[in-house]
Structure 1
Amino acid sequence: MPDKPSLTSSELGTLWLTYQQETMVLRMLEYFIKQADDKEAKTIMENLYNVVHSFSEKTAILFQEEGAAVPVGFTSQDVNTGVPKLYENGFDIMFFRLMTEIGMGMHTLNITMSSREDVVSLYKDLTAIIQKYYNECTQYLIRKGMLARPPYVSMPQSVEFVKDVKYLSGLNPFNDKRTLNTVEVAHIFHAIETNVTGMQMITGFAQSAHSTEVSKYCKRGMELSKSFITEFSAILLKDSVQAPTPAGGNVTRSTAAPFSDKLIMYCISLFCSFSLGGNSLGTAFSLRTDVAAKTTVSMKDVFEYAQEGAKIMIRNGWMEEPPQMEERKHIIDKN
């Protein structure tokens, strides 16, 4: 057996996805670092940039050592740091808090699909460092009063067990629904919070995109996020639970494009994938049927929106193709 086995198809695929995400984050960090007014925020982003840059180089080296083509990902052509501010009032740290959350989920999942020691080690180190910066972003936003906190609740004084299947009901509008439990509130609150940041992000994309096609696509995404925020907030308010209202993250009046349409579309695609995963968990852990039904419908809407975006990327030549398995039938027929 060789000292270091070849990369498996799963490892090659996850490394390819990791490199795409890393290079996108680097380009966006370059812009936000240049625009940063707050010294503390700038320091967080500069340190994060150095870490992500180091890991992107390690990922590229893994491709090179295997004799595989290094993906294109996102380059200096995908960012313009010289344009005016598109976002302000803490949006930069709000955005990278969400990006590190996405990264934590991806890298943890990638560990489970890897077996070669150096690849597993890469994802373990990435997970640990991204967790660190997620916490730094969170604590920064709390100190600045920009992070909406989930609601508090009276502590339970005894352990209860569900006594009736009515606990699962919720779809019948003529019957009273039980009060939301804290697990359901957690997932609904998280869905609203992430959609608020996503809506702010895509609003900036809509007014600065190069092409009309991408701008229209972003506008549709804005309306989709608004509908999710409205619907999930209504579920909370029905039980007198306050919906999250972040205090920062404004979009300016600038229409100058800091990012290429290719980067914009990939970023939206990444957020759609994250939304699908989050909504899947929300559906799985929500025992009230109306809540589960609502998250299921939202997943359908997000999937259809993501599919439309994929078609735009393909038509414009922006979708880099992941490494493919051998076209075995073609090889045999050719022979």
Structure 2
Amino acid sequence: MSNISHIRLTSAEIAIMWTQYQSDSLAKCVLKYFLAKVEDEKIRPLLEFALSLSQNHVAWIRSTYQNEQFASPVGFTNEDVDTNAERLFADIFTLHYLNNMSRVGLAAYGLALSTASRQDIREFYTQTLHESIELNERVVKLMLEKGIYARSPYIPASKHVEFAKQQAFLGNVFKVSRPLTAVEIMHVFMNIQTNIMGKAVITGFWQIASSPDIRSHFLRGKEIAQKHIELFTKRLGADDLAGGSSMEPLITTVTQSPFSEKLMLFHVSALIQMGIGNYGLAISTSQCYDLAIDYARLMAEVALFAEDGANLMIKYGWFEEPPQAVDRQMLVENKNMEIFN
């Protein structure tokens, strides 16, 4: 990559690399565990490929931070995973997990590329974007082959173009007033799928967590996800469209935890952050008032849940602060204290 170390990193570049380091160091732990347990020889190469990507990403970011004399994030290490623990999820679940992981990568790396300006950072995120495309392509191909890929609902082909003739098209705050558009169906369906995945992850973590307050937090998250699934499924059902099926049957009955509670709490928080982003995007594309109001209400609910998760991480000393702007007021106060002392 280009040698342009004389150009300082922007706050956006620092942010995207810090966030990715956290995510990929977590992914390394999870994928190592999945790889140690996988039995399906068609899924194994995909796990190996995804793990190699996360390992390379973490190494590159750490090296770049060191070159810039930034402290490398702590993230997650081998101490946060026990690959000898019993199997928690079936192989098919890991395939769904990889699909979700690749989708997140496509969105995150696209945003990273669009906000980066230094050439080596742009080249890195161009590469990671291509890698996510390849991972997604390989995962979806295998899911289709196995017949487990959840397709978005079908709707009839439009025979002619229609233009809205009255404001009623925008819907009513108090009732469902028209069928969903294809764009709205896409987002509702995707939010069902992400909640199904999130609920399965949280259910597995709830089953293996040791601390009572963390178990209680996961149970609450599981119930929130179920409520959101039911609401979105009902919304599709109003137009005779199908949602999705539960992944809980893909969770085993083991109670021994392969992951640290720090990793599990962070993982759930990351899922919640992605969910909030998905809801925000859905609001921006929805032209139906009642649906937009539902999204806003659900966003507020998961935001409170995310805050409680962050408070738990702070309580246990696991909350790693992202790089921040300088608190110049604090600098002045510290200087005054030195003068008077």
Q: TM-score under structure 1 normalisation?
A: 0.95
Instruction: For 1:27-66, list aligned pairs within 5 A.
Output: 27-66=29-68
Question: For residues 317 and 250 of structure 2, what CA distance do their matches in structure 1 show?
Answer: 32
CA contact (8 A) 2:184 2:282 kept: yes
Shift of 1:324: 2.3
Shift of 1:245: 2.4
Q: For residue 307 of structure 1, what is the aligned residue in structure 2?
A: 307
Shift of 1:170: 3.2
CA contact (8 A) 1:94 1:249 kept: no
Question: For residues 266 and 260 of structure 2, what CA distance do their matches in structure 1 show?
Answer: 10
Q: For residue 73 of structure 1, what is the aligned residue in structure 2?
A: 75
Question: For residues 214 and 333 of structure 1, what CA distance do their matches in structure 2 show?
Answer: 38
In the alignment, structure 2 segments of 5+ residues that lack a partner are: 336-341
In the alignment, structure 1 segments of 5+ residues that lack a partner are: none
Q: Which amino acid aligns with 1:49?
A: L
Comparing 94-103 and 311-320, the one that deviates more: 94-103
Q: Which amino acid aligns with 1:209?
A: A
Give CA deviations for 1:247-286 in whole Å, capped at 9, x if unaligned: 7861110001011111001111111111011001111111
CA contact (8 A) 2:39 2:91 kept: no
Percent of residue pairs bearing the same amino acid type: 29
Q: For residue 103 of structure 1, what is the aligned residue in structure 2?
A: 105
Q: Which amino acid aligns with 1:287?
A: Q
Q: Please, what is the CA RMSD of the aligned residues? A: 1.6
Q: For residue 237 of structure 1, what is the aligned residue in structure 2?
A: 237
CA contact (8 A) 1:97 1:138 kept: yes
CA contact (8 A) 1:145 1:247 kept: no
Q: For residue 262 of structure 1, what is the aligned residue in structure 2?
A: 262
Question: For residues 290 and 330 of structure 1, what CA distance do their matches in structure 2 show?
Answer: 46
Q: Which amino acid aligns with 1:81?
A: T
Tell me the secondary structure at the aligned position of residue 95 of structure 2.
helix
Q: For residue 143 of structure 1, what is the aligned residue in structure 2?
A: 145
Question: For residues 247 and 145 of structure 2, what CA distance do their matches in structure 1 show?
Answer: 12
Task: Assess, with a 3 A threshold, how the Cα gap between structure 1 residues 253 and 327 changes in structure 2: closer, same or farther.
Answer: same
Question: For residues 194 and 132 of structure 1, what CA distance do their matches in structure 2 show?
Answer: 21
Instruction: For 1:163-242, list aligned pairs within 5 A.
Output: 163-173=165-175, 177-242=177-242
Name which of 156, 161, 165 aligns with 2:158.
156
Task: Assess, with a 3 A threshold, how the Cα gap between structure 1 residues 30 and 249 changes in structure 2: closer, same or farther.
Answer: farther
Question: For residues 248 and 124 of structure 1, what CA distance do their matches in structure 2 show?
Answer: 36
Instruction: For 1:308-323, list aligned pairs within 5 A.
Output: 308-323=308-323
Tell me the secondary structure at the aligned position of residue 123 of structure 1.
helix
Give CA deviations for 1:123-150 in whole Å, capped at 9, x if unaligned: 1111110121122222222211222211
CA contact (8 A) 2:40 2:91 kept: no
CA contact (8 A) 1:283 1:296 kept: yes
Question: For residues 210 and 134 of structure 2, what CA distance do their matches in structure 1 show?
Answer: 35
Shift of 1:325: 2.1
Aligned length: 332
Q: Which amino acid aligns with 1:243?
A: G
Question: For residues 247 and 298 of structure 2, what CA distance do their matches in structure 1 show?
Answer: 25
